[in-house]
Amino acid sequence: MTNLPYISFIVLTLNNRKTIRSCIESIISQKYSSFEVLVIDGGSNDGTQEIVNEYKNLNVRLHEFAGCGIGKSRQIGVEISTGEICAFVDSDCELPDFSWTDKMVTPFLKSPQVGGTWALGAFKKEYPSIARYSILQHPYRRNGIPELVGADNYIEIGTGHTLLKRNSILEVGGFPDYKSREDVDLTYRIAKAGYTFVYVKNCEVYHLHVTTFRDFVKKYERDIKASLKEKRDNGGENSGNSGGSSSAIPFFMSNMLIYPAALALYGIIKDRDLAWLWHPVICSAKLVIVARSFLKIKLMKSGKKS
């Protein structure tokens, strides 16, 4: 293909020494004609920055913005980028092959209404069981994914391995300064602005999302806090989620002991992976986290009234 759009890979990192090298090497190995790599570092002190600087002669540029949250850091990446398309790849990701970028860019060439392309995460066999579980349990794998996503059928689309048209990001005001779910907020607004997201099949990205149970729980707790804050800020309406009491009953039912145990057994048989044994444990942890979060909100409201 000729006249391909210039791509700005935006990689956020903070103390990711163990994964940043494989991430960068998978990007610079792409057989794509024109791209830059912008690594936005939140103030790493574990040797991450030194590793990134090893690639400075290969169009990989390190930008340190210590103390910035995820949303602000992503927006900084957009603002200093020079590409027509921003490719967001998390620092714990590894692109699967040399032609990944070509495949992900193709839908943009077919229609100006395409605001983004995205792919699911995958895992390697040697990943820890909790990391494999974090990929296997994703609801999109069980429920299926529409190829085209817009305002009418929006589903939550993050930016772990997603390409977004730079103009569409700026048109809707960019990433909010959130600590979590900043990407879902943005893609929802892009969809509402009339753009379409294309799910690209067979482009799954290796994503070492978590390595310990503690990591998994911390990420979930962070997302729950962000979601509750988002609902309060928006008066109950948040980025494409129904929320409220209508979703509370299904949530508690799906995380009670019997259903998670049955789903874990089904997952083990279907995927032939004992990583599904984590499912009842994780579901119990989710119930505790959500209950604690709601209790904290109730106590705060009671304190304000008194």
- pLDDT at 305 (0 to 100): 61
State which of 207, 232, 259 marks the end of a domain: 207
Q: How far apart are CA 243 and CA 249, in angstroms?
A: 11
CATH code, 186 = 3.90.550.10
Contact 211, 130 (CB under 8 A): yes
List pLDDT tens digits, range 21-47.
999 999 999 999 999 999 999 999 999
* Whole-number Å distance between alpha carbons of 117 and 161: 9
Q: For 249-304, write each residue's pLDDT tens digit.
A: 666 666 677 889 999 999 999 999 999 999 999 999 988 888 887 777 666 666 66
Contact 235, 190 (CB under 8 A): no
**189 and 225 assigned to the same domain:** no
Count CB neighbours of 266 within 10 A.
13
One domain, residues 158 and 244: no
Claim to verify: residue 74 and residue 33 sit in the same structural domain: yes
Q: Within this chain, do residues 230 and 109 fall inside the same structural domain, yes or no?
A: no
264 within domain boundaries: yes
With respect to residue 71, please indicate whether it lies within any of the assigned structural domains: yes
Whole-prediction pTM value?
0.88
Q: In what order do the strands lie in the sheet with 161-165?
A: 60-64, 35-41, 7-13, 85-89, 161-165, 114-118, 196-199, 148-149
For the residues of 138-170, what is the DSSP string, one character each?
-HHHHH---SEE-STT-----SSEEEEEHHHHH
Same domain, 202 and 297: no
Are 143 and 165 members of one domain? Answer: yes
In a domain, 1, yes or no: no
236, with CB counted inside 10 A (0-12, 13-18, 19+), is exposed
Q: How far apart are CA 108 and CA 127, in angstroms?
A: 33
Of 207, 222, 249, the residue that ends a domain is 207
Residue in this structure with the two tokens 């990943």, named with its chain if needed: 127
In a domain, 184, yes or no: yes
**Tally of domains in the chain:** 2
Looking at the structure, tell me whether residues 199 and 237 fall in a common domain: no
Question: Could you tell me where the DSSP H helices lie in 6-152?
Answer: 20-28, 48-53, 70-80, 100-110, 129-136, 139-143
86-136: pLDDT as tens digits: 999 999 999 999 999 999 999 999 999 999 999 999 999 999 999 999 999
Q: How many whole angstroms from its chain centre is CA 17?
A: 20
265 shares a domain with 203: no
Tally Cβ neighbours within 10 Å of residue 244. 10
Looking at the fold, whether 105 and 217 belong to one and the same domain comes out as no
Among residues 150, 172, 207, the one where a domain terminates is: 207
Please give the average per-residue pLDDT across 8-31, as a whole number. 97
Domain range spanning residue 245?
213-305
C-alpha distances in Å from residue 119, one per residue of 48, 109, 273, 281: 26, 17, 22, 28
Kindly state whether residues 231 and 259 are assigned to the same domain: yes
For 67-94, give one letter per residue: b (16+ CB within 10 A) or e: ebbbbbbbbbbbeebebbbbbbbbbbbb
Whether residue 89 lies inside any domain: the answer is: yes
> Does one domain contain both 123 and 187?
yes
Here the tokens at position 295 are: 């209790």
65 in a structural domain: yes
Q: Are residues 192 and 283 in the same domain?
A: no
Q: What digits encode the pLDDT tens for the residues 219-254?
A: 888 877 776 666 666 554 445 544 444 466 666 666
